[in-house]
Every structure is written in structure tokens, then in C-alpha cells.
Structure 1
Amino acid sequence: MIRLVTATAVALITSLWACAPAWAQDDQKVILVTVDGLRWQEVFHGAEARLIDDESVTDEPDDIRARYLEPADPAAALMPFLNGPMASQGVLAGDRLAGSCMRVTNPHWFSYPGYNEILTGRADPAIDSNDKRLNPNVTVLETVNRLDGFRGRVRAFGSWDVFPFIINTERSGVPVNAGYSPLPDDGRPETAMLNSLMMTTPRQWAGVRLDAFTHQAALLSLKHDKPRLLYVAYGETDDFAHDADYDAYLTSAERTDAFIAELWRTAQSDPFYAGKTTLIVTTDHGRGSRQRRAWTAHGSSETAWDRLTGQDWGRGSDQTWIGLIGPHIQVGASPAPGQCWGADQIAATILGALDLTGEGLMPMASVAFPGVLNSPT
């Protein structure tokens, strides 16, 4: 028998709903993606002609030029998702040539300090190396994982094997799969195959696995674990740049853009995520840009490399970029003229996108990006 709901009952339900925790109302999710050391110059303007023509860093200039420089829109040729759906349906900020400013606020301009800033919402000058030391600071992943409705629904996957220390798995309880650590055996054939491939594929770098493994692991988690906060940290771009391999750096950037697009498509095709997920994409640092080979390096003028060489190789590597798309994101938002967004604002923006604003969860973190978050329609 169908029972009619009275106006009084509707009013009562509405009142109770309004008093419920925000995350119970909208059931929001966030996917955070970082692309290690990818410069804003390539993100917004595509491949750089002077580097393609430099035979010391580009092995196949004709092929690279045809793929990335000759198309009418070089930026879209390199990263079609970031410069397409993300830019048109969300936010893509950090193009210095267009007056858009995004930066890290830590004084070091390399990876561990950058990831700490992104994940904790504040720069910590005491984190001044990439050593495998457990992070004393609490990340947004750990904070969210402590909450009812989120506990056990936070996951992290990284190509770099330092992420278990950055996220401090011992204290946080957040599952982190990184480097060449195999995925836990869950009885699924896909997991077993991925582990087998990861263990038997030749290694390019000792502490950084190929991003394809990180991506496939994250996809499996997205499909089966249904995390409400997922962090995916790709790493190849930084390592290929350090290797002075511009061909591979560009190819990796294009491939990573396709990975990000697949994460977004997968989320939007799943009722658990569709219309309730915010995607945030950024980088941990920029790269040097003032000298011919400076793009291979990064770090502030206080780094050991600059002291050794007497040159400011890392100048400009505090300059970064960010993309955001989702139901909470105000399309076309950007830093105000003369203002610069900081990586320390990302953690609070994640909380806001999860409807966890006003909870006092991370009082030491900086504020969210102004004008970026709105209410889902």
C-alpha cells in the first residue's frame, strides 16, 4: 500500500536533513592528482621549440615537432584533457603569460616539501629534503580518513616510493601503494596480473615506477574500493626531465593527460561518483626556465646544486599550475589580478569540495581558493 507523506512529515524530514552532516547530504567525492615537476609552460603553451631543436635533449626532433609543435593548438596537442574539458568546464590556472599566478609557498621548491604543502595546507620549512622520514604533519588524507562516513574510504597511489612516508601510513592508517610495492592480494585476476607485470618489467629508476602501474592500480581501486577521497601521484615527468630527455618528458605529459581523462571518464560513468566528484590536478613544483638546460633542474637558490655550480638553475621552479572540475567548482574562476594562489590552499579546497567546510578540521591549513567553490546544482 502506498502511503502519502504529509506536509508536516515533509517539513520534519527537511529539517532533519538540514541538520545532518554536510557529507551525508551530498555524498561528495574528490580525486586529487599530482603530476611531478610538470612545468606550466608546457601545460599552457605546449612543447617548447628551443628544446625540441636542442639535440642534447631531444633525440627525435622531427617526430616531436610533428606531434606537438606543428598542430594549430600545441597546448591541446600535448594535453587535450587539461586544455579541453578541464579548462572549459572548470578551472585551469597558472599561465603566467596570461597574468594567472599559481605557486608553492615553501622555500625549497622540490618534491617532499611540495607534497607536504599540498597535502597539509601549509609550508613547513623544516621539511628540507626528500629523505624517507615519516611526516610529522597531518595530511588532509589522514584528517578525512578519521571521519565517520570516510573512515577506510581514503586511498593513495604514487609512483615515487617516498609517499608512504609523506602520508605517514604508520600514523594515518591511509593505505598507500607506491614505488614497486605490490598491491595487496585481493583474489582478483587483474590485481595478480598487474603485480606480475610490475615485478617483471625493467625498471627505469630505482625509487620511481612507471606511471602506467600507478594509474592501473588507481583505476582498480576506483572501480572496486570506491574511495571517497582518492590521491593519485604520477612521477615520470620529473624523472625524464632530470634525465634531460625532452622527448620522453613530452610523451609522458601527453600520456598522463590521457590517464587523468580516463580517471574522470571512469568516475562520471559510475553512479557512485557521477555528478558528485571533484577532480583536482596540480604539480609539486615547477622547473627552472632562465637557462638553456635549467628546465632539467628545480629548487630554490639555497639548494646544494646551485651552491655547487654557482648558478641559479632553479629560478622559476616555484611557479606551478592547477586544474579543478566538478559540481563544486565555479567555471572560469581565476586568481585576482596581482594575486597568486598557493599550493597551501589545496587542502582546504579539498575539504570544501567534500562539504567539510566550517568543521575546524585543519586549523593550521591555509584557506581555500577564493571564488572557486560553490554549491552543487
Structure 2
Amino acid sequence: MSTEFYGFLNYPSKIKRRRVTWLSFVPIFLLLFACAPVSSSTPLATSGAVLISSPTPSSTPTSSRLPSPTFLPTLTATSTPILTPPQTPTSRPDPTQTSLPPSLPPLPTLTPDPTHLPTFQPSNLPALQPSNPPPFKPSTKAVVLIIIDGARWTETFGDPTRDLIPHLANDLAPLGAINTAFYNDGQTLTVPGHAAIVTGTWQDLPNNGQARPTAPTIFEYYRAATASSADDAVFAHGSFIEPVLTYSAHPAYGAQFGAAEFFSDYPTPPYDDGMAANARRALAELKPHLLMISLLDPDEAGHIRDWAGYRQAIKHDDEIIWQVWQQLQADPFYAGQTTLMVTNDHGRGCGEGWPEHGGDDECNRHVMFLAVGPDIPPGLVISQRRTLRDIAPTIGYLLDFETPFVEGEVMAELLTQESPR
């Protein structure tokens, strides 16, 4: 190929074309390179990483060109700064060797002034009371639990005159404690109410004596713990529906740990005289450590709408309880080491509803509770709310046997709190 070629410019037809060699374009190339702008504001990478980006239309003209490699600076190792981490001291500075700036005043030396220190005398110190009673071995060796069936709070300790319970209010209460906020929170019926007392649980039982409680009774707990005979745990009653309470349907307990049963079918009223006779005979002959007596006359009179008979039955049961207490104090086996508890299984309806029970009102649920014994300080009036479920674990505590399936609590305030009347 020839080193000469024809130019590609279209000259006017009147101008004669001429031959052009490649040397003719050298001045043009030199002129273009000389006029190309080199931006001094574009940073050059110095750390070995190069960022290439497109110039923005507003800052770079469309005719700009990348600089020739001859214009790039030569990067050397010394052009990149070397960053070194700060030196970690090998040991902590000694704060005792650090001096304060001379502009700060020295700290004053504090010396106690004995004349301004308070002097505490033993009489000034508050007496610390334990939140729970300290563990101790109860002195109680026997428990007698008496239930007055169906007596309302308003006819017992809720009556300001207390004329239906003269012995309970005037003779026994000063020797022990009463609780003014005691309730049946379960079914306010005879069998479920009695079952709550002896099991420490709310039992959903029919009131016809056809089903036993599912939780163990205090009789079973006691006999299983002491390996005692049935004569050592006695239930004296006069109702055909209450034999189901002598033992439970719990598979780990049952009939082998049940209570001895003293049933009284007294032919004429007052029927509670028969229960009282059986109970007093059991105390004299069997010497049980656990005895429960159920007095039914107030409930029986209520159901036949005999208001006078209902009130008289409460007063008669007050006399029976006093006779039982006198017998306990006259017997060296029981005197000074027996705790007596008295309560109700339920109350009765309010107002005109007094003949019946089973409702959810205050009159059905509010019941009495009295306890007298060697571990109970005299003259207590307790207002802490308690329920029938708390009786079983409290008896277990006093007689030192476990009650693992109860839902109630030991009434610690009964044993420790002192609130004179």
C-alpha cells in the first residue's frame, strides 16, 4: 500500500483536489493534544484503590479527554501514609501518683465529731416482727373440732348481744381467738361444706351422701402419719349423708385410714343430744387424738321454717360445746394440751330467705370460727380473711402431720398475732 492517500475532505468542485500525505495531519494532532484541558481538581488515588466515575455534565465539558498516561504521577510507597494503632499501656497508671493541677485547692480532711453522732438506745430501736411465725413444736396433743350446721353469722358472733352463744362468747372466746372474717367460698351446702373442712379443698359433691371427697381427709392424713388405729380418729354425727366424710376416694389413702364413726339416730329432739352423748363417751373411753362432732339441729329447724326452734338449737349447741370443754379440762389426758375449734359448714339466706341455704350471698357464706388451746394466745380477735379450707392444714400443723393435698393455709396469725379485745 502506498504511504499516500486521498483526503476525505469534500472540497468544492471548483477547487482542484490535491494529494495529501499522512504527514500533513501531524500539526493537527499536536494542536488537539495541546488544547485538551487537564483538571487539577480531580483527586488521584493514593491508597492503591482507584475510583473511576463518570463526569457530570455540569462540571465537565463534552469535549474533555482523559489525560495522557504521561501526565499521571508515579505512586511510591512513601506517598501513602502508614497508620499505626495506638500503643496500649502495659500497666494501669497509679492513681496515687497522679497530682492535681496546682489551680485546684486541696481537699479538706474530714474528722467525725462525736458530739453530733446520734446515740441509739435499745428503747429507740424498732422491734422487728417476723413475717412468718418462727418454727416451734406445738404443745397441742389432741384436737376437737365441732361444726354447728347451718348457723348464720348474724345469730352467733355477728349478733352484738351474743345472747344465743353465752358460753362461746363469754367463757371460751376470752381463752382463745375468734376470726370475724371467716367464709365458705365453696358450695354452701352440708356435705360440700363439711368436705371442705376435713379435706382443706373445695369439693364439688352432691348433697345426698352418695359421693366421697376426692382429696384425703384429716382422719386419713393423721392415721397414715401416726400409724394409729381407727379409734384414734373419731367422727361423731347424726346424719345419713355424712358417713362419706370418714374417708376419701383418694387411691393413696381410703378406708384403711378412715375415721371411726359414731352415728346417732336420736329418736326425739333435740337430736344433737345424741351426738353429744356419743362424743363424750368416745372421749372418755377411746381417748382419740382427733375428734370431729357435727351438730345438726339448727339446720334441721331452719329447713322446717321454725325460727324459734332454730334460735333455740343454736343456744342448746352452745351448752353442749361448753360441756365438752369442761370434760376435756377435767380429764388429765386432755387438760392443758387440747385445742378446741368451733365453726359452721355454711350459713343461711338473708332476710326472708333464712330457712334455706346454698346461695352466694353474705349470709350464706359468712360463718364463725373460734379456737382455744395451748398454742393460741388468749383474747385474739382476728380480721384476716380466712376460709373453711384453712382448718385442715392448721390442724395438721398443730398435730404435726403433713397435709400434702390441701389448698388452704396454716392460720399462722392464729398462733402468733396478739390483738387484745
TM-score (norm 2): 0.61
- Give 2:239's aligned residue: 160
SS at match of 1:156: strand
Q: Are the equivalent residues in 1 in contact too, given 2:140–2:339 (CA < 8 A)?
A: no
Shift of 1:179: 4.7
Larger Rg: 2
Q: Are the equivalent residues in 2 in contact too, given 1:349–1:373 (CA < 8 A)?
A: no
Q: Quote the Cα distance in structure 2 between the aligned partners of 1:335 and 1:176.
A: 33
- Give 1:221's aligned residue: 282
Q: Are the equivalent residues in 2 in contact too, given 1:150–1:228 (CA < 8 A)?
A: no
Q: Quote the Cα distance in structure 2 between the aligned partners of 1:224 and 1:163.
A: 23
SS at match of 1:227: coil
Provide Cα deviations, 1:291-347, integer angstroms capped at 9, x if missing partner. Answer: 3x211111125xxxxxxxxxxxx66301111010010113344444xx411110000
Q: Are the equivalent residues in 2 in contact too, given 1:347–1:365 (CA < 8 A)?
A: no
SS at match of 1:238: helix
Shift of 1:128: 4.2
Q: Quote the Cα distance in structure 2 between the aligned partners of 1:332 and 1:344.
A: 24
Q: Tell me the percent identity.
A: 25
Q: Are the equivalent residues in 2 in contact too, given 1:164–1:177 (CA < 8 A)?
A: no
1:368 aligns with 2:413: no
Q: Are the equivalent residues in 1 in contact too, given 2:192–2:202 (CA < 8 A)?
A: yes
- Give 1:29's aligned residue: 142
Q: Quote the Cα distance in structure 2 between the aligned partners of 1:363 and 1:374.
A: 25
Shift of 1:122: 1.3
Q: Are the equivalent residues in 2 in contact too, given 1:298–1:317 (CA < 8 A)?
A: yes
Q: Quote the Cα distance in structure 2 between the aligned partners of 1:315 and 1:74.
A: 20
Q: Quote the Cα distance in structure 2 between the aligned partners of 1:27 and 1:324.
A: 12
Shift of 1:277: 0.2
Q: Quote the Cα distance in structure 2 between the aligned partners of 1:259 and 1:300.
A: 29
SS at match of 2:367: coil
Q: What amino acid sits opposite 1:342 in the alignment?
A: T
Given the alignment, which residue of 334, 339, 342 partners 2:387?
342
Q: Are the equivalent residues in 1 in contact too, given 2:152–2:363 (CA < 8 A)?
A: no
SS at match of 2:278: helix
1:330 aligns with 2:377: yes
SS at match of 1:371: helix
Q: What amino acid sits opposite 2:283 in the alignment?
A: L
- Give 1:138's aligned residue: 216
Shift of 1:27: 6.3
Q: Trace 1:213-292 onto structure 2 (pairs within 5 A).
A: 213-289=274-350, 291=351
- Bigger share in helix: 1
1:80 aligns with 2:166: yes
More contact order relative to length (CA 8 Å, sep ≥ 6): 1
Shift of 1:149: 6.4
Q: What amino acid sits opposite 2:356 in the alignment?
A: A
The RMSD of aligned alpha carbons is 2.4
- Give 2:205's aligned residue: 127
SS at match of 1:364: coil
Which ranges in structure 2 are unaligned for 5 or more consecutive residues? 1-135, 249-253
- Give 1:309's aligned residue: none
Q: What amino acid sits opposite 2:355 in the alignment?
A: T
Q: Are the equivalent residues in 2 in contact too, given 1:163–1:178 (CA < 8 A)?
A: no
Q: Quote the Cα distance in structure 2 between the aligned partners of 1:217 and 1:364.
A: 29
Q: Are the equivalent residues in 1 in contact too, given 2:201–2:215 (CA < 8 A)?
A: no
Given the alignment, which residue of 325, 335, 359 partners 1:300?
359
SS at match of 2:324: helix
- Give 1:12's aligned residue: none
Q: Quote the Cα distance in structure 2 between the aligned partners of 1:162 and 1:128.
A: 10
Q: Are the equivalent residues in 2 in contact too, given 1:163–1:176 (CA < 8 A)?
A: no
Which ranges in structure 1 are unaligned for 5 or more consecutive residues? 1-20, 47-72, 95-100, 181-197, 302-313
Q: Trace 1:31-180 onto structure 2 (pairs within 5 A).
A: 31-46=144-159, 74-75=161-162, 77-94=163-180, 101-106=181-186, 108-124=187-203, 126-148=204-226, 150-152=228-230, 153-168=232-247, 171=255, 172-180=257-265
Shift of 1:212: 0.5
